[in-house]
Amino acid sequence: MSDSPGLVVFNDMGFMTDYCIYNAKTGEVKETAGVTVPKDYINKINSLIVNMWNAAGEIIETDYYARMKDYIVK
């Protein structure tokens, strides 16, 4: 098991963490852990998600794994 904080990203860029559920369409934040989520927390998670989406796009566009197949141990 991972000791990293939980993060589920929805296809509309909304997300769920150990602390809240964020609705990207409405901007609504529903706190789930009984703690107040700081405003910068949402911005930090949104930045992380944008970086994840960008990295995934680059992997697809450059066919990264096909180029790495000779370096991957089977």
Tens-digit pLDDT profile for residues 58-72: 999 999 988 888 888
Question: Is it the case that residue 74 has pLDDT exceeding 70?
Answer: no
pLDDT digits (tens, 9 = 90+) for 38-60: 989 999 999 999 999 999 999 99
CA distance 3 to 72: 27
- Find where tokens 């990264």 sit: 64
Q: Where are the domains of the chain?
A: 7-68
Residue 21 pLDDT: 97
Find, among 4, 3, 11, the residue nearest to 56 by Cα.
11
Taking the C-alpha atoms of residue 43 and residue 51, their distance in angstroms, rounded to an integer, is 12
Question: Which pLDDT belongs to residue 39?
Answer: 82
